[in-house]
Structure 1
Amino acid sequence: MKTSSFKPSARWLAKGSVLLASLLVLAGCSLAPAYDKPAVPTAAGFKEASADWTRTQIKPGEAGTWQPARPSEEVARGAWWTVFGDDKLDALERQALEANQDLAAAAARLKEARALNQAARAGLFPTLDAGFGPTREKLSAASQLQPDGTGIPQQTLWRAQASASYEVDLFGRVASSVDAARADTQRGEALFRSVQLALQADVAQAYFTLRGLDAEAEVFAHTVSLREQALKLVQSRFDEGDISELDVARARAELATARADAMSVQRLRAASEHGLAVLLGKAPAEFSMPPAPLKAVSLRIPAGLPSSLLERRPDIAAAERAMAAANARIGIARAAFFPSLTLTGTGGFESATLGDLFKWSSRAFLLGPLAGTALNIPLFDGGRRSASLANARAVYEEDVAKYRQQVLTAFREVEDGLSDLRILEAQTQTQADAVQSATRAADISRTQYREGAINFLDVIDAERTALQTRRAAVQLQSVQAAATVNLIRALGGGWGDVVAGSVASN
């Protein structure tokens, strides 16, 4: 009888062992789809890079409509702003990287992402706990192998035990969670670098804007000096009776207008200086820059610049990592359809009295959950898991579309930058010719006025034209510097190992 009763138990034990072994073999099998980086649009070359200015062609073998994404945002870009050869700008960039609060906030967000990644990785390991204290309980008669109806009195037990719990990753839920958290961390790193690049570009643009306003202020200072000289000349001729008081009034009005315009430039400069101070992490009262007119900036984009440089952009890398995280979360949603297995165990000492708690005879253990079951099989949830899976897939599709749109936006920004620099180069040369001609016309008009050949209105008109052309010329220099910064930013912070053809600042 004993032998016959033992065999069924052995068979059930064998079947259970086989089932457990099968489940353990499945552990770590991920249900996430294989992640393939989606194809992105490419072109044979940048449209706005004319052959006579610079040739920007895609690398051999990259031609076509779509190419697989190969983000390389982690490639070091270095201090790209040093191409401008401005020591003051170099110092400002260093200050901004050390003290800007937006960058500090981005660094904190990166720490948050890393902490969440560490929390997700904790799921790969068992949890261990220990505790001490009394419990009041009443055991069933059946659990004590007593006949039905036997009364088991309530009792207080003291316990000092350690417990362990571990979720066997049967269908890759934990592994997919770790993959998603890792991708989110990498996305956070890319977003941090995106904020960093934006800060560097903003500082450079604010600096060049400030210097451009200094150049405009210099133009107005020269104009005010000319207006003062003109007023003296007109006043002298009026005192001699050669002209009427009308010319004097006109000269005074022109002088006052020039002074008012100069004050407008001063107001704009003050606001720009305050904005630059905030970028540097300083209160406006703590920062000031002596006036220094902007020097012309000319930067040549190196020939053969590949469109793959766009993959260095941190915003593109962040979008690609968001796709990877969304793909891993599809695996998490799929794993919810399958059983989960949690192994638990408790061991230590328990006793009816505190004094007997740590005796050798008081040792006890429990394998398996105190409540519930170790193996949980989902049966019905009203479609919640199906909805979660559909949502995960939709999020992934959305992130793919966002990524491709980000790449298209990057191409547009580079094309905009190339066209700006190409057109601005010709425009500044044309504007320089206009300045030379307008200045010559103003000089001739003043000479003719002294000789009485023309009236003062002709002088005013010529000087206004000269002022407008000079101001437009210095504004174009500021726009050209800002366009150069925008192009470098659009390329992700320079062009790596590609050597620029020529960089000049004079």
Structure 2
Amino acid sequence: MNTKLLSRVTFSRALPAATLALLLGGCMAGPDYHRPAVTMPAQYQPLPGWMAAAPAAAAPKGDWWTMFNDPLLDELEPQVSVSNQTVRQSYANYQAALAQVQVARSALFPAIGISGSADKQRSAAGNAGSGTARQHSISTSGSLEGNVSWAPDLWGKVRRTLEENKANAQAGAATLANATLSEQTALASAVIELRVTDASIDLLQQTVDAFKEYLRVVGNQASAGTVPPSDLLSARTQLENAQSSLLALGIARAQYVHAIAVLVGKNPEDLQIPHGDSLPTLPEVPAGVPSTLLQRRPDIAVAERQMAAQNAAIGVAVAAYYPSLSLSAADGFTQSPLAGLLHVANHVWSLGADVGETLFDGGERHGEVAAAKANYEAAVANYRGTVLTALQGVEDDLSGLHVLARQADVLDDAVHNATRGAEIALNEYQAGTVDYTTAATARATQLSTQQDALNVRQQRLLDTVSLIGDLGGGWSVDQLGAAAQTGARR
């Protein structure tokens, strides 16, 4: 029985130094990656009367939600990156991608192993048929061995695989950033919806109070017999409708609170948010120039890194055309019986090399290369489509904010006029110069106009959140460098 122990194995012993240098500096199959060019406009399309926002160098780059000056946003937004389950899932996927980088890198280095064994056996001598007593002997043997195996990356397959996995890890980092930004903007939108609902509750409560006063006035006049009974019924019906609408808002408010709780990783019943007294501040967000989207949008970074990964996959597929080489070495001792195992006389060693090449595979490798190239072209199309979608989103946001700003100015005047008209109509009704329908219609017009103005304010806030998200929030593609360094340390 042969046994081996690795004492010290060096690659210079297995190969001449010049040959080793050649193996380590082997070529890399497949194309090197170059990011495809995309057509970017010089500026966003201006609308009539549109003015570019003033530069805001002091605006928050990371905690963008502080621009809205809402304490609830300031409290809850930081919890998204910690407790939101969608973000946690993306983080786990990113960690898995980093682990795959470590797995790919390990193939660049030799595998070193050591093993040992011991054996004791009993043997018999003599002929039992001849009556001679059988003699028994016990022998011992053992092994203690080590070995090294290494497959030099002659054609760059391992390095292309490592390149692919690094790009996938960076795509995972960008996916994590995109998920975080998406959930943060979703939370900001939900908080705005909640604040607007609270404002609508306040508005309807004022309307209910006004209709109660209307009912009191009509009741007094009905008791005096100066108005028909139908006015009293109309006033009561109008009040009850307003009270019903006010109660219905409670359902919407509860749903927004539940949505906010889930976004910050809490059970819906665990989060209580008191009634808000004011709306978030409407900030001015500088859009910059379109080309900055390539650096600021994490979803574009995801698509770009996926392109890089697919490009590296072409090299992995092409490398399959070339022969593979595997080297092995062992050094140790062998002895039976076990005593004196480590004596120099028992020293043994071996070197080996294994070369393999596929001569015929029925077109398998050709198909793998063709598939890799097609996947790369699909990634390129996805990248360019993502850029176009990003440009569309920003243009939509800017157009919406521009039109809504003009609409808000018009509605401010309309609210002022409707409020004044309702006051005049009530005074005229009390004076008996107009009927109740006129006064009630004026008050309903005031409520409708105020609600329209509130809705426009809500949409401006939501479009601003959307614009911040479409501009990439406070993220930058430079952060992918940190992701690459993290992968290199693993």
Fold agreement, TM-score > 0.5:
yes
Report percent identity of matched pairs: 35
Aligned to 1:79: 63
Structure 1 residue identity aligned to 2:414 = A
The one of 410, 435, 442 aligned to 1:462: 442
The one of 154, 163, 167 aligned to 1:183: 167
Aligned to 1:398: 378
Structure 2 CA distance for aligned equivalents of residues 156 and 180 of structure 1: 52
Structure 1 CA distance for aligned equivalents of residues 392 and 374 of structure 2: 27
The one of 293, 299, 322 aligned to 2:283: 299
Aligned to 2:485: none
Aligned to 2:292: 309
Deviations along 1:286-328, one digit per CA (max 9) or x if unpaired, are 211111144363333448x221220110110111011011111
* Alpha-carbon offset, residue 21 of structure 1: 3.6
Matched, 1:482 2:462: yes
Over 3 Å counting, the alpha-carbon distance change for 1:272 and 1:158 in structure 2 is same
* Alpha-carbon offset, residue 40 of structure 1: 0.9
The one of 45, 50, 62 aligned to 1:47: 45
Aligned to 1:125: 109
Structure 2 CA distance for aligned equivalents of residues 47 and 384 of structure 1: 50
Aligned to 1:200: 184
Over 3 Å counting, the alpha-carbon distance change for 1:51 and 1:437 in structure 2 is closer
Aligned to 1:67: none
Over 3 Å counting, the alpha-carbon distance change for 1:35 and 1:50 in structure 2 is farther
Aligned to 1:341: 325
Structure 1 residue identity aligned to 2:334 = E
User: Do the aligned partners of 1:349 and 1:364 also contact (CA within 8 Å) in 2?
Assistant: yes
Structure 2 CA distance for aligned equivalents of residues 90 and 250 of structure 1: 46
Matches within 5 A, 1:146-295: 158-295=142-279
Over 3 Å counting, the alpha-carbon distance change for 1:135 and 1:324 in structure 2 is farther
Deviations along 1:177-209, one digit per CA (max 9) or x if unpaired, are 111111111111111111111122112111111
Deviations along 1:114-133, one digit per CA (max 9) or x if unpaired, are 11111111111111111223
User: Do the aligned partners of 1:27 and 1:172 also contact (CA within 8 Å) in 2?
Assistant: no
Over 3 Å counting, the alpha-carbon distance change for 1:250 and 1:274 in structure 2 is same
User: Do the aligned partners of 2:50 and 2:402 also contact (CA within 8 Å) in 1?
Assistant: no
93-102 or 20-29, larger mean C-alpha shift: 20-29
Aligned to 1:147: none
Over 3 Å counting, the alpha-carbon distance change for 1:301 and 1:280 in structure 2 is closer
Aligned to 2:452: 472
User: Do the aligned partners of 2:24 and 2:152 also contact (CA within 8 Å) in 1?
Assistant: no
Deviations along 1:21-49, one digit per CA (max 9) or x if unpaired, are 49935843111202111011211321145
Structure 2 CA distance for aligned equivalents of residues 135 and 310 of structure 1: 69
Structure 1 residue identity aligned to 2:411 = Q
Compute the TM-score of the two structures, normalised by the length of structure 2: 0.84
Structure 2 CA distance for aligned equivalents of residues 28 and 170 of structure 1: 4
Aligned to 1:409: 389
User: Do the aligned partners of 1:187 and 1:322 also contact (CA within 8 Å) in 2?
Assistant: yes
Unaligned runs of at least 5 residues, structure 1:
1-15, 58-75, 137-154, 497-506
Structure 2 residue identity aligned to 1:459 = A
Structure 1 residue identity aligned to 2:419 = T
User: Do the aligned partners of 1:212 and 1:293 also contact (CA within 8 Å) in 2?
Assistant: no
Q: Tell me, what secondary structure is at the counterpart of 1:408?
A: helix
User: Do the aligned partners of 1:345 and 1:366 also contact (CA within 8 Å) in 2?
Assistant: yes
Matched, 1:110 2:108: no
User: Do the aligned partners of 2:41 and 2:291 also contact (CA within 8 Å) in 1?
Assistant: no
Matched, 1:433 2:413: yes
Aligned to 2:72: 88
Structure 1 residue identity aligned to 2:144 = A
User: Do the aligned partners of 1:27 and 1:171 also contact (CA within 8 Å) in 2?
Assistant: no
Q: Tell me, what secondary structure is at the counterpart of 1:364?
A: strand
* Alpha-carbon offset, residue 87 of structure 1: 3.2
RMSD of aligned Cα (Å): 2.6
